[in-house]
């Protein structure tokens, strides 16, 4: 998909922009990578020229990553504690590592989706 999406607001489909952003592609055209480093977007898309350095997602991707991590992990923690006898020290070390890993895995796709949201709206 390399359609140009830099026209009027009606030319900016939200669902497509979110999908492209989640996959780390330019939400406008889907023809190039959105990030040059882990959370640093490219200055401008090499395929369509859309400028990404000027769009600020601020803390919203981190907020979403924490929100999703908490909602996914909490039932697992409760179920593990019901089913197994896991030591306190193991839990004090293990769950924060799992939570941090989940949040780190989600934050770049979520930032791409937030940039897609900002672009589409
Ligand atoms: Zn592009």
Instruction: Classify residue 4: in a domain, yes or no.
Output: no
- The pLDDT of residue 7: 47
d(CA 53, CA 71) in angstroms, rounded, equals: 31
Q: What percent of the chain has pLDDT over 70?
A: 92
- At 95, the pLDDT band (50, 70, 90 cuts) reads very high
Instruction: Classify residue 95: in a domain, yes or no.
Output: yes
Count Cβ atoms within 10 A of the Cβ of residue 50 and give its class: 0-12 exposed, 13-18 middle, 19 or more buried.
buried
Ligand 1 geometric centre to CA of 108 (Å): 17
User: Which position has the token pair 């055209």?
Assistant: 29
Per the structure, the count of domains in the chain is 1
Ligand 1 geometric centre to CA of 60 (Å): 22
Chain segment 32-53, per-residue pLDDT in tens: 999 999 999 999 999 999 999 8
Burial call 61-72: b when 16+ CB within 10 Å, e when fewer: bbebbbeebeee
Ligand 1 geometric centre to CA of 65 (Å): 25
Instruction: Classify residue 89: in a domain, yes or no.
Output: yes
Ligand 1 geometric centre to CA of 110 (Å): 18
Instruction: Classify residue 32: in a domain, yes or no.
Output: yes
Mean pLDDT confidence for 11-25: 95
Domain containing residue 84: 9-120
In 3-state terms the chain splits into helix, strand, coil percentages (rounded to 5) of: 55, 5, 40
Chain segment 66-82, per-residue pLDDT in tens: 999 999 999 999 999 99
């Amino acid at each position: 998909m390399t359609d140009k999406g830099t026209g009027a607001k009606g030319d900016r489909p939200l669902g497509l922009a979110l999908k492209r952003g989640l996959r780390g592609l330019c939400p406008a055209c889907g023809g190039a990578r959105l990030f040059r480093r882990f959370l640093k977007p490219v200055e401008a898309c090499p395929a369509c020229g859309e400028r990404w350095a000027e769009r600020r997602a601020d803390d919203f991707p981190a907020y979403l990553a924490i929100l999703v991590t908490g909602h996914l992990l909490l039932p697992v923690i409760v179920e593990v504690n019901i089913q197994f006898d896991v030591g306190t020290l193991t839990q004090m070390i293990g769950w924060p590592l799992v939570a941090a890993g989940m949040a780190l895995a989600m934050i770049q796709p979520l930032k791409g989706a937030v940039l897609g949201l900002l672009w589409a709206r």
